[in-house]
Structure 1
Amino acid sequence: MLTYDEKLAIIESFSELERKNVSLGRVNFQFSNSISDKKNIVYHLHPKGNGFVYAGHLHNYDTDDKGMVNIRDFSADQLHHLLKESIQALSPQEKTIVEEAIVGDSDGERWTDEENNLLILVNENESWNIYFGLNLDASFDTYDEAEEFLKEEGFKRN
């Protein structure tokens, strides 16, 4: 198990995180550029080594109902990897050329699965269309139908 100081050093190596001291010697780290309401990436890191990292947008971690992962027993590599993934998941995504061609000025949603396959959901001409690259993969009459299909196929909204 890493010590508090070792965990703190790893977390502080991410310049995009801002330290916020809280009660009882605990520390939070916030990601101010988050695309989500979730700003606390690291929550209640305690001098005894316990703490939590937000992983609510990630697929390969066991999270609590708030999307947090307990990092008490994480190795240095595991903690670094989790922080990198969490920050990346909450960072603004620039549209790729393919997305720009499909979505244009519309509001498209990005959906990914555990293998990082990307599908784009777009409302076009009173239909909800799902694209894989430039190819139309499926079309639905309502958003709810499209969302249900994507979830059944193992995709999560980014």
Structure 2
Amino acid sequence: MLTFEEKLAIIESFPQLQRKNVSLGRVNFHYEESVFDKKIVVHHLHPNGNGFVYAGRLPEYDSDNKGMVNIRDYSADALRSLIQSSIYSLSDHTEADAECSTAEGERWIGPEKHILLLVHENDLWNVYTGLNLEASFESHEEAEQYMQEEGFTRM
């Protein structure tokens, strides 16, 4: 389990989030550019390492009735991925979606519910985590093999 300080460092690496200190040493992080009424991405990160991230618009995550996912036992990579997905879900990303909505686009789900998008662009097969390019391959077979080796399956 990551410590409070480790989780805080990961969360603070997202410049689009604004820190808001709340009671009992807990911290919230807001995404002010949200196109929805929902602005809190990280809710009640506690010094004991417990906290929540908003995933109400992310069907691949098992969230509570408020759309929150408990991050107490999340790894660093899983936490980064969830926060990135949360911010993306609250963003005006119609341009990015249009770019990624080719007929060849495929969604893959992997360990700890990470979601990757495989897109055929400019003669390459690109793997994206949110808006970030993770890897590029010359063929669909190479990309598929990579995804499977990393524990991902097509959605």
Q: Same fold (TM over 0.5)?
A: yes
Equivalences for residues 57-68 of structure 1 within 5 A:
57-68=57-68
Could you state the TM-score of these two structures normalised by the residue count of structure 2?
Answer: 0.61
Identity, % of aligned positions: 62
How far did residue 69 of structure 1 move?
Answer: 0.2
What is residue 44 of structure 1 aligned with on the other side? 44
User: Which residue number corresponds to residue 72 of structure 2?
Assistant: 72
SS in structure 1 at match of 2:58 = coil
TM-score, normalised via structure 1 length:
0.60
The residue that corresponds to 2:139 in the other structure is: none
Partner of 2:89: 89
Give the alignment's Cα RMSD to 1 decimal: 2.3
Q: 5+ unaligned residues in a row in structure 1: which ranges? A: 100-113, 117-158
**Matches for 1:8-157 after TM superposition, within 5 Å:** 8-95=8-95
1:60 positional shift: 1.1
- Aligned-pair distance for 1:82? 0.2
Shift in Å, 1:65: 0.2
Q: Highest Rg: 1 or 2?
A: 1
Letter in 1 for 2:46: H
Deviation sequence 1:50-100 (CA, Å, 0-9, x none) = 00000001011110000000000000000000000000111112447x79x
Provide the aligned length of Structure 1 versus Structure 2.
Answer: 103
Match of 2:133 in 1: none
Q: Which amino acid aligns with 1:29?
A: F
Distance 2:73 2:83 in 1: 15
Partner secondary structure for residue 59 of structure 2: coil
In 1: Cα distance, 2:91 partner to 2:2 partner: 27
